[in-house]
């Protein structure tokens, strides 16, 4: 049950996929590409979770949490770059 709550919370934070196209990442093609790679990783982990009818001891959920953290850091990096570009 704890793992299910973690997955739901992580999904709420990380979705929708593809947020990189708009917002602070616009004009940062490398950060956009990194985000797309993270989107792909998220989808593959979700597929693995669906395909496997056994518990992965929370490791897939932890991987998704790491992806959500990476996405947030990429967004922050773009925002900082945008601030410096504006100065």
Radius of gyration of the chain (CA): 15
Stronger pLDDT, 54 or 15, i.e. the higher one: 54
The pLDDT value given to residue 9: 55
pTM above 0.85, yes or no: no
Domain that holds residue 56: 2-86
How confident is the model over 40-69, as pLDDT tens digits? 999 999 999 999 877 789 999 999 999 999
| Region of residue 22 (phi > 0: left; psi between -120 and 50: alpha; otherwise: beta) | beta
**Confidence band of 14 (pLDDT split at 50, 70, 90):** low
The domain total for the chain is: 1
Residue 3 is encoded by which pair of tokens?
A: 């793992």
The pLDDT score that the predictor gives to residue 55 is 76
């Amino acid at each position: 049950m704890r793992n299910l709550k973690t997955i739901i919370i992580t999904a709420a934070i990380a979705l929708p996929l593809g947020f990189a196209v708009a917002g602070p990442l616009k004009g940062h093609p490398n950060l956009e590409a990194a985000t797309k790679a993270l989107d792909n990783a998220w989808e593959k982990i979700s597929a693995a979770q669906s395909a496997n009818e056994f518990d992965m001891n929370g490791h897939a959920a932890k991987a998704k949490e790491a992806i959500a953290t990476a996405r947030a850091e990429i967004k922050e990096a773009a925002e900082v770059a945008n601030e410096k570009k504006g100065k």
